[in-house]
Amino acid sequence: MANGVLIFQGMKLGFLPGDSPISLNEDGENSTKAILSTAYNVIPIWLKAAHDHLKQSKLASEKIIEDWSENPELQKELLVRELIPSIQVFVSCGIALDALYDTLRPHAKISQQEIQAWKNRGTSREKQIIEVIRRTFKLKNDILKNFSDCIVPIIKYRNKAVHPSLELENACMRPDIRIAVDWKFSVYCYSNAERILTNTINMIVYLYDHKTGTSEIDESISNIIDALEELNIVQRRL
């Protein structure tokens, strides 16, 4: 038999209809057997995954600096070692933004006709995410542009990672090595992974700091911050 319910910071708690019945026992006393229901937002988990992968990416990046040589096999090994955790950061941050979209969409007053129009026009995922944030937080144009500048590359390269193409693209250089590489080794590197994780967290912190006045929205963002704090990803400012 379960001994209580394990509660995490930022977890939504409540009772579903019929799960807190009140009845009388044999002695005529109230007997309540409530079943607690929970909802743990996955946004903090994906950002925790990105945070942990970024640590591995940093170590791999440092090894490139320390161990780089003219040996092609070693070069490949070093680059792949950095690529794997870096690409995971992009994917994790992209999923976190998708989850943020789903969290905010019920409050964005988007009609089914608009959603269908997005599908018909092939409106990109990043534009949908930006529009939902714009509607729920009523961001000023300059702030909205900053958000857009952060969100667009995250979703773009998340999509290129999970929906890969084998079309030929020019090899490119990166500043820390003296050889041209496939674009993936240039994009999915530690410095870029660090930037997109920082941007993703900073956007959520900004939304937390700038309340909408709508209790459900503000509570959802506050719960995300609570969970990120418990996971040691952010530290709340006093």
Strand partners, 38: 13
Residue 49 within any structural domain of the chain: yes
Q: Tell me, yes or no, whether 92 and 202 share the same domain.
A: yes
- The pLDDT of residue 191 is 96
Strand partners, 32: 22
Q: Tell me, yes or no, whether 167 and 186 share the same domain.
A: yes
Q: Tell me, yes or no, whether 11 and 80 share the same domain.
A: no
Residue 236 within any structural domain of the chain: no
Q: Which of 92, 114, 97, 100 is nearest to 47 (CA)?
A: 92
Listed in sequence order, the residues at least 6 apart from 145 whose beta carbon sits closer than 8 Å to its beta carbon are none
**pLDDT of 182-212, one tens digit each?**
999 999 999 999 999 999 999 999 999 999 9
Is pLDDT of 14 > 70? no
Domain that holds residue 31: 1-40
Q: Tell me, yes or no, whether 124 and 18 share the same domain.
A: no
Q: Tell me, yes or no, whether 151 and 117 share the same domain.
A: yes
Joined tokens for residue 50: 């990105």
Residue 238 within any structural domain of the chain: no
Q: Tell me, yes or no, whether 8 and 112 share the same domain.
A: no
The Cα–Cα gap between 84 and 88 comes to 7
- The pLDDT of residue 15 is 60
Residue 235 within any structural domain of the chain: no
Q: Are strands 30-32 and 12-14 parallel, antiparallel or unpaired?
A: unpaired
- Average the pLDDT over 169-177 and give the result: 91
Q: Strands, E, within 25-79: which ranges?
A: 30-32, 37-39
Alpha carbon distances (Å) from 141 to 101, 131, 209: 19, 12, 17
Rounded to the nearest integer, the mean pLDDT of the chain is: 88
Q: Strands, E, within 41-179: which ranges?
A: none
Q: Contact, 31 vs 24, CB < 8 A?
A: yes
Q: Tell me, yes or no, whether 119 and 10 share the same domain.
A: no
Q: Tell me, yes or no, whether 131 and 47 share the same domain.
A: yes
Residue 223 within any structural domain of the chain: yes
**pLDDT of 71-120, one tens digit each?**
999 999 999 999 999 999 999 999 999 999 999 999 988 888 888 898 88
Geometric angle at alpha carbon 61, from 56 and 66, rounded to 5°: 125
Q: Tell me, yes or no, whether 144 and 224 share the same domain.
A: yes
- Domain count for the chain, please give it: 2
How many CB atoms sit inside 10 A of residue 41's CB?
21
The Cα–Cα gap between 191 and 97 comes to 20
Q: Tell me, yes or no, whether 81 and 32 share the same domain.
A: no
Q: Which residue has the tokens 């129009």?
A: 117
Q: Tell me, yes or no, whether 19 and 117 share the same domain.
A: no
Q: Residue 1 — pLDDT band, cuts 50, 70, 90?
A: very low
Residue 141 within any structural domain of the chain: yes
Phi and psi at residue 11, to the nearest 5°: -80, 135
Q: Using DSSP, state whether 139 is helix, strand or coil.
A: coil
Joined tokens for residue 195: 């930037």
Q: Tell me, yes or no, whether 28 and 135 share the same domain.
A: no
Residue 35 within any structural domain of the chain: yes
Alpha carbon distances (Å) from 170 to 152, 173, 190, 193: 22, 10, 21, 22
**DSSP H or E run through 234:** none
Residue 76 within any structural domain of the chain: yes
